[in-house]
Structure 1
Amino acid sequence: MFLGSVALLLVLPMGANANTAIFDDLFGVSFPSAESGWICGRWGVMYHTADGGKTWAPQDTGTDVTLLNAFFVDPQKGWAVGDTGTILHTANGGKTWKKQECPVPSFYLMDVFFISSTTGWIVTERTHILYTDNGGETWQIQFHDQDYILKSVSFSDPLNGWAVGEYGYTYHTRDGGVHWTHEAGYFRQNWETGDIEAGNYLFSVIAEDAEKAWAAGIDGYVTRTLDGGQTWGKVDTGAPRTQLFSVVSDRSGAIVIAGKETVLVSMDNGNTWTPPAFEPPNKYGWIYRIARRGTSGFIAIGGGGMIYLSDGNNPSSTWHRVTNFRQGAK
């Protein structure tokens, strides 16, 4: 017993507690305040922190399906979405989770975003966007288009939002989703050569305000709009040709992009980019999502239970690992 305890302590990072050893692949994260946050992932796992991400405790979601993201509007009320039309809701900080009825029960639900405790959106397969105006008591199909996968949704206010996904398909609303407009993305066959032509797959979008938004995706591709989606332009970040799974902004000039073995930070609205230091280094792992920790900093989560926290509010500072994880997990 004693030797086992010593062995466990030896594999944990400096300053970590035994209850922070997480080995599940993590896909979603939400911090409604600087101290209180949630992460979720494979096999329906959910963990909660009350100290800004330093330590984590598991919560029982009642499901074993993969949860792809969570969104909390405050430290009590939150939602999580995932495989096979799974929508979970808690009204007591995750002490209990209850399923909400999904209008597309066989679909994979990719992302969830709430602008208030009542109004939210979910993006999913077949270019479906789901909507609720009563906290998820009922969900309805607000929009659907061609048979592509939407991966991410973000709103800057109750009216202005974007959704992005497969082949660069990008949709924009200026009226809270009453109307969604296709702004970018394509998939077609060249009838002269027979080749398939398609836009860059997008994994993540962040709406900064009614006019500005960022998106990131495959092959190190980053794009942004400065004119409310009238035009989207590629941004040269110096990122390698790898999957960029997440983009986040503090809406004050700091932008972070992250993915497979890559994290880049801009502190000047995307004009210049630098890689922050990670301690210990994250050489072979993938980061699936980055989020703000209230107003106190940033968090990165990913494969094999990886969790890193930025050192303070500046994402270009050193990031420190707070959990033990499987290095190189895919």
Structure 2
Amino acid sequence: MNLRTIAAALCGAALALACTPAVAAPAPGGPLAWESRDSGSGARFRGLAAVSRSTAWVAGTNGTVLLTRNAGRTWRNVSPPGAAALEFRDVEAFDARRAVVLAIGEGEASRVFRTDDGGTTWTETFRNTDPKAFYDCLAFFDTRHGIALGDPVDGRFRILSTGDGGRSWRVLPAAGMPAALPGEAAFAASGQCVVTAGGRSGGRDAWIATGGAASSRVLHSADRGRTWRATGTPVPAGDPARGVFGLAFRDRAHGLAVGGDYRAGRPSERAAAASADGGASWTAAGSPPGAYRSGVAWLPRSRTTALAVGPTGSDVTTDGGRTWRGFGTGSYDTVDCAPDGGCWAAGEKGRLARLTARPAGG
């Protein structure tokens, strides 16, 4: 069932994805649902790139990269050779053949690989040699320009930049990055600690999500990572386990932030916020998800509808992030939607799923 049908189920009318704020999201067990796909793997997948309804890439533990081209009915193991000791936390894909994956960790554990043939062969295009650096996630503005985010080194977040699709990388000067707060870091939980606007459309805007310090912040760049401005958010921090974990921007102005406290059983008040001015200010959700959420994604072509996922379940908003309602209890770490409306989720123990809808009363 495509997202136009799903939108109709959400809105109660046969309209494309522009639900009105007055329409409530479905209650748990309502029309939205994740349809599981057997990955054949036990890896934990925190990296996810939705190319289309039929094609998606995932990246995770034990150096695992999987690719499907048939809507998840089968997954092909396309992991880079010799990568079993690496921890992949992000993947960005341009199509079914071209993808870039990021391995995280201190020193040389942080690496970037690129494939141009659907994972048949891989080239290592970056290996971190600074023992103080730790890279968390990456994002692309278009098929050539992208950045990767690293935790603070000498008091400032570190940015890698590529202008050739991830075939080569350079560290950008730190002068344009504001000083990090004491204890501030990014979370490599869903591949969404750095994002760009509205997919890979050739823009220049990027945002960074942080936590761990006295307050959580979102940093915005309008020049592909050369200079940044920081803004506080209402998502609680004040602890190494709390802050903003995931961001999504549907355009240069409208963004969503999700997070909380990732420790099991800990409360996560005000776990979501929204911005209508490019991240210059943030407003807490009036009815946020009831627990920590690590991933968030706008439904394509929607001005108001988005999904959030975490270890305890999923939520949907149909009013641009002001209110959220749960629709499932499955454990997922990340979510991504393709331009053609295919939405995917991934998580622990090889969990993979594609968004579908149940018939009313079904």
Structure 1 and Structure 2 fold alike (TM over 0.5): yes
CA contact (8 A) 1:27 1:302 kept: yes
* Residue-by-residue CA offset, 1:269-302 (whole Å, 9 max, x unaligned): 234432224xxx63xxx31101114423311111
In the superposition, relative to structure 1, how do residues 264 and 175 fare at CA in structure 2: closer, same or farther (>3 Å)?
same
CA contact (8 A) 2:272 2:288 kept: no
Q: What's 1:244 paired with?
A: 293
CA distance in 2, matches of 1:228, 1:274: 24
Q: What's 1:44 paired with?
A: 63
Kindly report which structure 2 residues correspond to 1:22-37, keeping only aligned pairs within 5 A, or say none.
22-37=41-56
Kindly report which structure 2 residues correspond to 1:89-104, keeping only aligned pairs within 5 A, or say none.
89-103=114-128
CA distance in 1, matches of 2:125, 2:209: 24
Q: What's 2:196 paired with?
A: 155
Q: CA deviation at 1:200?
A: 4.9
CA contact (8 A) 2:80 2:122 kept: yes
CA distance in 2, matches of 1:215, 1:149: 16
**Which of 322, 325, 344 pairs up with 1:274?**
325
CA distance in 1, matches of 2:112, 2:168: 11
Q: CA deviation at 1:116?
A: 1.7
Q: CA deviation at 1:175?
A: 2.1
CA distance in 1, matches of 2:230, 2:114: 30
* Residue-by-residue CA offset, 1:87-132 (whole Å, 9 max, x unaligned): 1111111111111124555433221111222100111221222111
2:349 alignment partner, SS class: helix
Greater mean deviation of Cα atoms: 115-124 or 130-139: 130-139
CA contact (8 A) 1:276 1:318 kept: no
Tell me the amino acid that sits aligned with residue 76 of structure 2. A
Q: CA deviation at 1:16?
A: 6.8
In the superposition, relative to structure 1, how do residues 266 and 198 fare at CA in structure 2: closer, same or farther (>3 Å)?
same
CA distance in 1, matches of 2:241, 2:217: 8
1:162 alignment partner, SS class: strand
Q: What's 1:138 paired with?
A: 168
In the superposition, relative to structure 1, how do residues 297 and 105 fare at CA in structure 2: closer, same or farther (>3 Å)?
same
Q: What's 1:265 paired with?
A: 316
CA contact (8 A) 1:217 1:245 kept: yes
Q: What's 2:75 paired with?
A: 56
**Which of 307, 317, 328 pairs up with 2:352?**
307
Kindly report which structure 2 residues correspond to 1:162-311, keeping only aligned pairs within 5 A, or say none.
162-167=207-212, 168-184=216-232, 200-218=242-260, 219=268, 221-240=271-290, 242-250=291-299, 251-252=301-302, 253-277=304-328, 282=330, 286-311=331-356
Q: CA deviation at 1:268?
A: 3.0
By relative contact order (CA 8 Å, sep 6+), the higher-ranking structure is 2
* Residue-by-residue CA offset, 1:43-94 (whole Å, 9 max, x unaligned): 1011110112222111131212110010012222210002221111111111
In the superposition, relative to structure 1, how do residues 234 and 199 fare at CA in structure 2: closer, same or farther (>3 Å)?
farther
CA contact (8 A) 2:50 2:343 kept: no
Tell me the amino acid that sits aligned with residue 99 of structure 2. G
**Which of 99, 102, 112 pairs up with 1:81?**
102
Q: CA deviation at 1:161?
A: 1.7
Tell me the amino acid that sits aligned with residue 222 of structure 2. R
CA distance in 2, matches of 1:15, 1:164: 29
CA distance in 2, matches of 1:246, 1:15: 18
Q: CA deviation at 1:41?
A: 0.5
CA distance in 2, matches of 1:39, 1:289: 10
Tell me the number of residue pairs that the alignment of Structure 1 and Structure 2 aligns: 283
CA contact (8 A) 1:81 1:87 kept: yes
2:345 alignment partner, SS class: strand
CA contact (8 A) 2:69 2:96 kept: no
CA contact (8 A) 2:244 2:257 kept: yes
CA distance in 2, matches of 1:111, 1:32: 18
Q: CA deviation at 1:15?
A: 9.8
**1:71 and 2:120 correspond:** no
In the superposition, relative to structure 1, how do residues 171 and 272 fare at CA in structure 2: closer, same or farther (>3 Å)?
closer
TM-score (norm: length of structure 1):
0.78
In the superposition, relative to structure 1, how do residues 15 and 44 fare at CA in structure 2: closer, same or farther (>3 Å)?
closer
In the superposition, relative to structure 1, how do residues 102 and 16 fare at CA in structure 2: closer, same or farther (>3 Å)?
closer
Tell me the amino acid that sits aligned with residue 245 of structure 1. S
Q: Percent identity?
A: 18
In the superposition, relative to structure 1, how do residues 42 and 198 fare at CA in structure 2: closer, same or farther (>3 Å)?
closer
Q: What's 1:326 paired with?
A: none
CA distance in 1, matches of 2:98, 2:342: 22
